[in-house]
Chains A and B, each alone.
Chain A
Amino acid sequence: MIITLSWLKNHLSTSANLEKIIDKLTSIGLEVEEIKEAKNELSDFKIAKVLKVEKHPNADKLKLCDVSLGDGKEIKKVVCGADNARNGLVTIYAPPGSIIPKTKMKLKIAKIRGVESHGMLCSGKELNITDDSEGIIELQNRDKDIGKNYFRNKGEKSIDLSITPNRPDCLGVRGIARDLASAGLGKLLNIKKNKTKQIFSQPIKISITKEKNQGCSAFGACYIKNITNKESPLWLKERITSLGLKPISAVVDVTNFVMFDLNRPLHAYDADKIDKEIIVRNSKIGEGFIGLDENKYKLTNNMCVISDRSGPLGLGGIIGGTRSGTELRTKNILLESAYFHPNSVRKTSSTLGINTDAKYRFERGIDPNSIKEGLEVAANLIIKICGGEMSKISIAGKPKINSKVIKIDNNKFKKVIGIPISSAETKKILNSLGFETKISKNNSQIKVPSWRPDVQQDIDIVEELIRIKGFDKISLTQPERSRNKDTLSFQQKLFHLSQRAIATKGYLEAVTWSFTDSQIDNHFSQGKKEIKITNPISSDLNVLRTSIFSNLIIYLKKNQDRGYLDLSLFEIGPVFFGKKPGEQQTVVGGLKSGMINRKSWESKPRNVDVFDVKVDTIKTLVELGLDENSLYVSNKSQDHYNPGRSGSINLKSENGPLLAFFGEIHPAILSTLDLKEQVVSGFEIFLKNMPEPIKKYRFTKKDYSISEFQKSERDFAFIVDNEFKAGDVKEIISQADTNLIKKVKIFDVFSGGNMPEGKKSIAINVTIQSMEKTLSQKDLDQVSQKIINVVKTKTGGTIRS
């Protein structure tokens, strides 16, 4: 909503300056977005520089000019006939849509001899500055002003306000004036009453059909005959241009003026074009009309149309049609002032994708009791400018609604806001906003003005009071520093802890979109159904991600493409397995690519591999609170991993809750995505499967006991089948004598060489210690034999001699 000071002063008698007004607007909730020079008819004309001139391909006398409106602005292509158009000339540019002062012609983008011209370069005569029509204006020493307005503004400032959707009344200047007056910034002036005589009855029959979903509850009209429609007088043109609109004709400008002045949208029909009568009814599918914006609209059922006998003239409260539009030669008009229901307007306009100033107002709620006043003010103005006579006002439907009355406890304000308010102040504020008040001892009856659809219940009255009284009056209550509940839940703690756990292992945390490219996601989705977004922002962000890897690998590649090859990235966030709320889980995912010891002076370089991510995964799980011995590692993983170089970690056993996958990403995916490095390793940790301990860790620890006796170590090498997993051999040995075997460590694995085909050798170091005594050579030999036997029975493996 744009207002100018002079317009505001039509409604508000105030001595406050612009700065004071701006401050007050802000403090009562009418947010000031921007202060700028008010627009006028001449503000379209810009100082511009001709960058390049070429000959017109189809006309000898015409030139094609590249015109600059300053650095960074789009270059305009203009066709120009002036002899003096040349490279480097600074002149005046008129954009399409501007009105040339001399001819009053509105410029359009037009093809001149087959070449499109976007605006024109002006001569002095065209701008009514000089009589010089020879060539275009030449400006000297104005290079620094390129892009600025040529015509100086009269100093009028316009205030651009961002009006919240609950305040339709402030979509008119009067509503803003009322709020300012209430806040003590002046006095709201009365509207001058209409003196025009209404001598005849409104001759056109108007009816509102009674049907379900009727979007119109009142249709007021006034017939004005024998007018001479013309260009608006200067004052009106200035009002219209200050809004950023183009003046069209007195009739149209007046209706627009009243809409922005009183927030009362009106529509003017050329009465002679109406076929017999006006019927406000629901549309039927297949009907259509051409709107004043020159678009063809096809209607569906149940849209509120204003029609005559021939069909729809326009959409109520949204847009009129060309068939009944007024022109300069229009003689008789029918002015419409109606009430259309917000829901109906909103539904229709969103279906058809129309946005107009009227629609914007009706969907927020127009004062239903302003029908008559709006017609009178507008008719009065039209007759003043265009002559003619007005009819009596007819209103079909409900001419007025009764005001809402809200009962409010006098203590409510203090209870909600924390500070008291006197009944005198309550009365003063509410009355100045147009509310009627009846204040009793304990509670009050408040009658809400018809222009305030937002005020529905007592809390809304409280809001009005504190808004005008001032939010700065609310005294601050210091928060109490106490805590009755844990700040974080177990899962939330895991979230925070895993973030830092992974980061300490050299990974950089990324935050990427929750949506991704379906083509990438499909590589990691295990064939799950795509979760499509109906209205994605772009085709490569069209699905919710089913894997944490989808985005990470895209960004890994982007970084590789920038020349960064040794990368460790991770993200913790949601991945989705369905469209319903809650069909998501939090996953910690990391990717690692490149080399360890790339260009090292003392260590051999190697590719990152499965064991790099395995140790990161296990260490993280341990840091999250799990006992390393409770982690069951197997080589089962998912399709997006290299099947021979990946695995999973379950809690306690193969069938325990799945905690993580780790491994090298499938080479086929890497090559499809054209990644630079041969190996990318990754892991996924599923936090929801982490078991929540029943007791605090300190209560679950066993009693502290250590052996006082000497420990011994024995090395073994077993030859087992290649298929046999080292982890299983380790587990078998650990279980061979849980009292004496304290630690089992695999320190070498090899096959080939002099190993029999299909066999491998596993070298294992075992630590043996008793709690009761120093073990004798004999004891140790017994344990060793036990180990050898159990390995042999369970794996068929033999000790290597």
Chain B
Amino acid sequence: MTDLRELILKISQAKDKLELQNFKTQFLGKNSQINQEFKKLGSLSEDEKKIKASSLNKEKQKITEAINNRSMDLEKSEISQKLQKNKVDVTLPGREQPNGKIHPVSQVIDEISSIFSEIGFSVAEGPDVETEYNNFTALNTPESHPARDMHDTFYLDDNKKTLLRTHTSPVQIRTMLSGKPPFKIIVPGRTYRCDSDQTHAPMFHQLEGLHIDKDITMGHLKGCLDYFVKEFFEVKKIKMRFRPSHFPFTEPSAEVDIGYKLENGRIVVGEGDKWLEILGCGMVHPNVLKNTKVDTKKYQGYAFGMGIDRLAMLKYGINDLRSFFETDYRWLNYFGFDPLDVPTNYRGLSR
């Protein structure tokens, strides 16, 4: 019999599946040497038979094993050859999936809503077209009031009875007239004034805040704004100053400045020796509460208003207010936010 080792070597060198098949027939088939040996077993004694059979089986097993191994090897190399043929250049571009963006104003409104949600404010809204009464008179700004001059108002009729709201404050009136205290709302929205230059746009966004309840003091107002400003700018400490000012619908009234410094031409909020005005606020004027049928003996509270676009500019380093509304594809791409970047309190307000 041919040497077993020689056989196995031959098998392991079979060059393809066909040759391997031939080897299989040759070494294990009917006419194979091993099969001849098995046939001869019958002529042997029981003891010899046992020994011989066992050794033959072992041989057969080894050959079978070798064939299987070689078969697997051949298979593998065949696949890898095939894969090699189907190889692609993975540096080619993938199929395009355009990225959308959220406008900075919307993102900042989401941030603000998330911050005020934490301390129990709900979001209220009102129409863009307002009555002269809600926009001015009910807010303790009668027609003769010079403060009206500060609002360059768009009118929709010659009698100046309907207008585009000049601030979000008329929503205070709507909210208080349609419900019962306590009130705890924020109102983000579009506001309009007919001036337009580098720093003014005929439309901009304001955030109104109103909190009316029993025993709400100016200390609460301070606390609320201190909390908001820290959360919004994501700083632990903030330099903040309340300056007396005048709004017809609040008394006392204040404007609020925050400290900042310039670092490489960018505004860094929180410290520094410069002041930046960010909002106006005050205790809601008793006349406003009376106009909205709120019992001034029982209830009082505060209101505030701030420019959302300005907050966005400050936080995200945007210089030009007018660019917000120009819908330049490049600008929207650059300053816009990924839609999955949803401001939340637990994942963080901003990336």
Contact = CB atoms under 8 A, between A and B. Distances in A.
Contact of B202 (A460, A508, A541, A552): A541
Interface in A443-482: 457, 459-460, 462-463, 466-467, 471-472, 474-482
Contacts, number: 257
B113 A487 contact: yes
Chain B, interface SS category:
mixed
Given A346-B146, A508-B336, A580-B162, A514 B252 contact: no
A582 B126 CA distance: 8
Interface string B333-351: 1001001101000000000
A485 interface: yes
Given A509-B103, A511-B105, A559-B328, A579 B120 contact: no
B28 interface: no
A500 B105 contact: no
A27 B190 contact: no
A482 B253 CA distance: 27
Contacts of A531: 156
A581 B121 contact: no
B101 A503 contact: yes
Nearest to A570: B100
A790 to B, nearest CB: 40
A573 B100 CA distance: 18
A602 B89 CA distance: 12
A750 interface: no
A707 interface: no
B244 interface: yes
A484 B329 CA distance: 41
Given A478-B223, A478-B227, A508-B336, A165 B101 contact: no
Contact of B242 (A347, A472, A477, A597): A472
B332 interface: yes
B223 A509 contact: no
Contacts of A164: 245-246
Contact of A555 (B131, B219, B227, B327): B327
B206 to A, nearest CB: 14
B315 interface: no
Contacts of A541: 202
Given A488-B113, A509-B106, A601-B92, A418 B220 contact: yes
A601 B94 CA distance: 10
Chain B interface residue number, banded: 35 or more
B218 interface: yes
Contacts of B276: none
Interface string A19-63: 000000011110100000000000000000000000000000000
B99 A576 contact: no
Interface string B75-97: 00000000000000000110111
A29 B134 CA distance: 27
Nearest to B277: A31
A615 interface: no
A364 interface: yes
Contacts of A582: 127, 129
Nearest to A458: B286
B324 A533 contact: no
Nearest to B195: A537
Contact of B158 (A418, A534, A568, A597): A534
Give the interface centre of B92, B195, B220, B330 by most chain A CB atoms within 10 Å. B220
B254 interface: yes
A508 B331 CA distance: 10
B158 A569 contact: no
Contacts of B339: 499-501, 503-504
A567 interface: yes
Given A346-B146, A503-B101, A31 B219 contact: no
A412 to B, nearest CB: 10
A536 interface: yes
Interface string A551-591: 11001001100101001111001101001111110000000
Contacts of B241: 471-472
A584 B127 contact: yes
A642 to B, nearest CB: 23
B129 A568 contact: no
Contacts of A416: 217-218, 252, 283, 300
Interface in B211-245: 215, 217-220, 222-224, 226-227, 241-245
B100 to A, nearest CB: 3
Contacts of B265: none
A481 B226 contact: no
Chain A interface residue number, banded: 35 or more
A483 B120 contact: yes
Contact of B340 (A482, A504, A580): A504
Contact of A474 (B117, B155, B158, B219): B219
A467 B252 contact: yes
A132 B100 CA distance: 72
Given A487-B113, A537-B194, A581-B130, A508 B219 contact: no
A544 B157 CA distance: 13
B120 A480 contact: yes
A505 B102 CA distance: 12
A513 interface: yes
B244 A583 contact: no
Contacts of B122: 485-489
Contact of B110 (A27, A496, A501, A512): A496
A785 B271 CA distance: 79
A484 B120 contact: yes
B336 to A, nearest CB: 6
B226 A476 contact: yes
A364 B148 CA distance: 12
B245 A418 contact: no
Contacts of B98: 506, 568
A466 B253 CA distance: 10
Contacts of B262: none
A476 B219 contact: yes
A597 B154 CA distance: 45
A559 B329 contact: yes
Given A346-B146, A487-B123, A510-B327, A27 B243 contact: yes
A432 to B, nearest CB: 16
A649 to B, nearest CB: 21
B155 A460 contact: no
Contact of A459 (B120, B121, B251): B251
13 contacts: A343-B144, A415-B300, A417-B252, A460-B251, A463-B252, A467-B244, A471-B243, A479-B224, A500-B340, A508-B336, A537-B194, A537-B202, A580-B129
Interface of B: 92-93, 95-103, 105-106, 110, 113, 116-123, 125, 127-131, 134, 144-147, 149-150, 154-158, 160, 162, 164, 184, 190, 192, 194-196, 202-203, 215, 217-220, 222-224, 226-227, 241-246, 251-255, 283, 285-286, 300, 324-330, 332-333, 336, 339-340, 342
Given A28-B244, A600-B96, 12 more contacts: A416-B252, A476-B223, A496-B110, A508-B100, A514-B128, A514-B192, A515-B202, A537-B196, A544-B129, A559-B329, A562-B329, A574-B190
